[in-house]
């Protein structure tokens, strides 16, 4: 059989799959005895981090991470597929949909309709994008389906295949709800043979968020166990981590501090306002009636996050008043170019 014929047959098999149309359950299991598992190995220098304590992945948007699928084949040998999709941690019935801001950045064509609306992307060949925006059950919601190569085996008789995945939105796009990534091992009929769940947070500062959430977990354990001695914790390290975790919040508040004061108290003396303004910051009104803000950020991540926040607010204003958004459209386009320039900074 020629390679092209094999590809066509495989595509037909995937299209005929009718998985169990049920709501997902956030639990690991191996009901069919395939000893299915996921292996996630964090590189030394990477744009994503994994917390073994929380079993949680922290990653930036549009950044690829590799995860190994591992299972032990059973007789009779049958074709297997892996389905992967995002699910809300506290509301499994609500499908995770991509936000309109990020969808609008990708042009629509006949071939990319499902890919464009799918938050999850897989760079493996033969990946099939499934689901609709109205989908509730596993078979209906947005997911990626990857045929597993049954000819690749490791030294311990396990089949192992690497997947390259990334996300086209982040948690802040849907109200910062907590999410999990569900991996389902399926046969050609769509029956789920095994499942693994991995919590994931798509954010701009993976290291900061991981450290903050691990510290919160340690604090809860310490409160739950009063017998733990204070000497069991490195006080200097905890203090430094707390300061680092709070710094971004203080910086974000300072971005909007001066304009808010100016709006709320017009009677404030302008000279005193200028004296309290940092030397490398400026806020003023231009001759054509617009407002101008010049600020300095200590970290690249904070700069990008500030630009993204302004872009989201501008997009919301355009949606609220589409007929009055001609000037806002130009502003949003400038913010998009500004973000691209910021990302290119060393």
Residue 67 has pLDDT above 50, yes or no: yes
Collect all residues with Cβ–Cβ distance below 8 Å to 289 and sequence separation of at least 6: none
Percent of the chain past pLDDT 70, that is, above it, reads: 73
For residues 40 and 50, give the distance between their C-alpha atoms in angstroms, rounded to a whole number: 8
pLDDT per position as a tens digit, 18-41: 445 688 889 999 988 899 999 888
Spatial contact of 98 and 173, defined as CB atoms under 8 Å apart: yes
Residue 233 has pLDDT above 50, yes or no: no
Higher pLDDT, residue 121 or 338: 121
CA 262 from chain centre, in angstroms, equals 36
State the pLDDT at residue 139: 81
Higher pLDDT, residue 47 or 317: 47
Q: What single-letter DSSP state applies at residue 153?
A: B
State the pLDDT at residue 300: 81
Spatial contact of 283 and 291, defined as CB atoms under 8 Å apart: yes
Residue 245 has pLDDT above 50, yes or no: no
Identify the band that residue 344 occupies on the pLDDT scale cut at 50, 70 and 90. Answer: confident
State the pLDDT at residue 42: 82
Q: In what order do the strands lie in the sheet with 128-130?
A: 48-51, 56-59, 192-202, 179-187, 80-88, 143-147, 128-130
Residue 53: name the closest of 221, 194, 190 by CA.
Answer: 221
Percent of the chain past pLDDT 90, that is, above it, reads: 34
For residues 8 and 10, give the distance between their C-alpha atoms in angstroms, rounded to a whole number: 5
State the pLDDT at residue 226: 63
Identify the band that residue 227 occupies on the pLDDT scale cut at 50, 70 and 90. Answer: low
Higher pLDDT, residue 289 or 83: 83
- The pairs formed by 8-11 with CB atoms below 8 angstroms and a separation of 24 or more are 10/126, 10/147, 11/128
State the pLDDT at residue 195: 94
pLDDT averaged over the chain?
77
Q: Which H or E run includes 204?
A: none
Residue 11 has pLDDT above 60, yes or no: no
C-beta neighbour count of 67 within 10 angstroms? 21
Identify the band that residue 275 occupies on the pLDDT scale cut at 50, 70 and 90. Answer: very low
For residues 235 and 209, give the distance between their C-alpha atoms in angstroms, rounded to a whole number: 20
- In the predicted model, what is the mean pLDDT of residues 44-57? 89
Residue 102, annotated ligand binder? yes
- In the predicted model, what is the mean pLDDT of residues 47-58? 92
CA 178 from chain centre, in angstroms, equals 10
How, if at all, do strands 282-285 and 65-71 pair? unpaired
Residue 99, annotated ligand binder? yes
pLDDT per position as a tens digit, 74-121: 888 889 999 999 999 998 888 899 999 999 998 887 778 889 999 999
Written as one string, the DSSP assignment of 36-60 is -EEE----SS-SEEEETTTTEEEE-
State the pLDDT at residue 231: 43
Residue 169, annotated ligand binder? yes
Cα torsion 207, 208, 214, 217 to 10°: value is -160
pLDDT per position as a tens digit, 108-143: 877 788 899 999 999 998 999 999 988 888 888 999
- In the predicted model, what is the mean pLDDT of residues 293-311? 81
Domains along the chain with CATH numbers? 3-205 (2.60.40.720), 209-252 (no CATH), 268-343 (no CATH)
Residue 122, annotated ligand binder? no
Q: What is the pTM of this model?
A: 0.59
Q: What are the backbone dihedrals phi and psi of residue 279, each rounded to the nearest 5 degrees, phi first?
A: -65, -30
Residue 2 has pLDDT above 50, yes or no: no
């Amino acid at each position: 059989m020629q390679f092209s014929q094999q590809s066509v047959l495989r595509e037909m098999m995937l299209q005929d799959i009718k998985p169990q149309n049920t709501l997902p359950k956030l639990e690991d299991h191996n009901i069919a005895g395939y000893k299915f598992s996921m292996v996630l190995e964090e590189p030394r220098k990477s744009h994503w981090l994994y917390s073994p304590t929380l079993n949680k992945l922290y990653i930036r948007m549009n950044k690829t991470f590799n995860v190994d699928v591992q299972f032990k084949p059973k007789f009779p040998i049958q074709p297997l597929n892996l389905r992967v999709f995002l699910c809300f941690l506290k509301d499994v019935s609500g499908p995770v949909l991509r936000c309109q801001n990020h969808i609008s950045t990708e042009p629509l064509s006949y071939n990319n309709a499902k890919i464009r609306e799918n938050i999850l992307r897989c760079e493996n060949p033969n990946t099939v994008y499934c689901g609709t925006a109205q989908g509730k059950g596993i078979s209906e919601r947005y997911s990626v389906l990857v045929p597993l190569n049954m000819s690749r085996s490791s030294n311990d008789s396990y089949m192992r295949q690497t997947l390259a995945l990334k996300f086209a939105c982040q948690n802040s796009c849907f109200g910062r709800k907590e999410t999990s990534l569900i991996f389902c091992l399926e046969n050609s009929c769509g029956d789920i043979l095994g499942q693994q769940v991995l919590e994931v947070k798509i954010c701009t500062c993976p290291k900061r968020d991981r450290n903050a959430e691990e510290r919160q977990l340690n604090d809860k354990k310490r409160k739950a166990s009063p017998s733990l001695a204070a000497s069991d914790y490195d006080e200097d390290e905890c203090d430094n981590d707390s300061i680092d975790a709070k710094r971004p919040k203080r910086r974000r508040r300072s971005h909007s501090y001066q304009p808010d004061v100016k709006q709320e108290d017009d009677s404030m003396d302008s000279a005193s306002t200028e004296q309290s303004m940092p030397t490398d910051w400026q806020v003023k009104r231009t001759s054509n009636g617009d407002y101008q803000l010049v600020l300095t950020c200590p970290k690249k991540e904070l700069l990008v996050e500030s630009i993204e926040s302004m872009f989201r607010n501008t997009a919301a204003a355009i949606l609220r008043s589409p007929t009055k958004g001609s000037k806002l459209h130009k502003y949003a386009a400038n913010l998009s170019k500004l973000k691209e320039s910021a990302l290119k900074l060393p």
